[in-house]
Homo-oligomer: A and B are copies of this chain.
Amino acid sequence: MSVPLKKPIEEPHVGDVDVTMRMIGANARAAARILATIGAIEKERAIRAIAQAVRAATPAILAANGEDVTEAEKAGATAAFLDRLKLDEKRVIAMADGIDTIAALPDPIGTVMSAWDRPNGMRIERVRVPLGVIGIIYESRPNVTADAGALGLKAGNAVILRGGSDSFRSSRAIHAAIAAGLSGAGIPETAIQLVPTRDRYAVGLMLTGLDGAIDVLVPRGGKELVARVQTEARLPVFAHLDGNCHVYVDKAADPAMAQSIVLNSKMRRTGVCGAAETLLIDRDAAPILLLPLVRMLIDAGCEVRGDRNVQAADPRVKRATDEDWCTEYLDAIIAVKLVDGVDEAIAHVERYGSHHTDAIVTADGAAAEKFLGRVDSAIVLHNASTQFADGGEFGFGAEIGIATGRLHARGPVGVEQLTTFKYRVHGSGQTRP
């Protein structure tokens, strides 16, 4: 959501947006070349310096954030929007601690991913290197400024950040701290740049790649933003689209485990992309499991929409339409359907799912194997909650989102997914016959 602006905000250093953005692109490319040669210890030190600078800048960050919040309140922003936007001392400290967590991650750069010898004596190594320049376009969560900047830097990349208009002042204050940290650590400030204008035209320029200066774009925000970036971008995008996640409860499911996994998958947090949106129940398990599961969900405050069979179980169940099977509610609503075993469950997920995260609950190893093998999603789980779809829960330390595309990054995008590789070939004079 975007809040209408009363009067144009001051944008002191921006003249011509084209010129500014081109310069940002060139700066980032130059910084990326330097970052690719910087060692693990230096990078870790710089990221810790950023965390420290953010802590030190708490008053300035809170003052800037206060102005953003005041403006958003005047514009009639919702409570949920304000909650995402608003910072307090605790949140700033958590942000700085998050940066320190990223600093402590193992450095992925330089790792030999594989190596082999050729019959002619050449040795070939596949070595991890930075991606280059990452453009991050995000909405009004000011903490992304710090998270995304630090994660990109950890992987040896230069980062161009374009934050939401509504958190413009907050992002600018956080970015000033980042720049101070970088500079203090002897790293070029251009390693992490913030687009210094709210002008939407700047986003359009980023979508063209700034004359090849940007290697990949990462949109973080609502569906509208992600869809715009994916439709208009002229360069690769790590997009995070729908998370229409399913839990399938098989006839061989342990009833207590089914209940706790369904409840957690749906209700732990309803607004996250890994939240379950559809529950599929094996028809053979229905006599024992349908009623307890439906009651449990309704008792927990979840609206249940079901097919005819599910409606028959409890009068409070609403009728599900075809649209329900396609919907990512991100709310305390779930669609419930009976299916004829694992095969129909798989077919349903393939037809309506979004290839994000899907789970099966069963004690039958063969059914689990079939589900994990045939459901074509980034994450498939056996006997675990869909809410584990998270970089931290995967042990990645931090993430920049969950990619729903199939190329390069799929699933949680952590520091490793922000790298690429090159081949280093060691010869002793070999020529090709």
Contact = CB atoms under 8 A, between A and B. Distances in A.
A299 B4 CA distance: 72
Interface stretch (A61-69, A315-323, A325-333, A372-380): A372-380
A223 interface: no
A407 B410 CA distance: 12
Contact of A426 (B132, B383, B385, B431): B383
A290 to B, nearest CB: 20
A428 interface: yes
Interface string A408-432: 1011000000001111111111111
A379 B425 contact: yes
A36 interface: yes
Contacts of A379: 422-423, 425
A131 interface: yes
Contact of A260 (B231, B265, B429): B429
Interface SS majority for chain A: mixed
Contacts of A37: 373-374
Nearest to A124: B394
Given A33-B376, A385-B431, A427-B382, A422 B410 contact: yes
B406 A372 contact: no
Given A231-B234, A423-B380, A432-B388, A36 B407 contact: no
A159 to B, nearest CB: 15
A432 B122 contact: no
A427 B263 CA distance: 16
A221 interface: no
A188 interface: no
A385 B236 CA distance: 31
A350 interface: yes
Contacts of A265: 431
A417 B411 CA distance: 18
A380 B424 contact: yes
Given A421-B410, A422-B380, A393 B264 contact: no
Interface in A117-166: 118, 122, 124, 129, 131-132
Interface of A: 33, 36-37, 116, 118, 122, 124, 129, 131-132, 215-216, 231, 234, 236, 254, 257, 260-261, 263-265, 268, 350, 372-374, 376-385, 387-388, 390, 393-395, 405-408, 410-411, 420-432
9 contacts: A37-B374, A118-B393, A124-B395, A132-B376, A236-B236, A236-B405, A380-B423, A381-B427, A411-B423
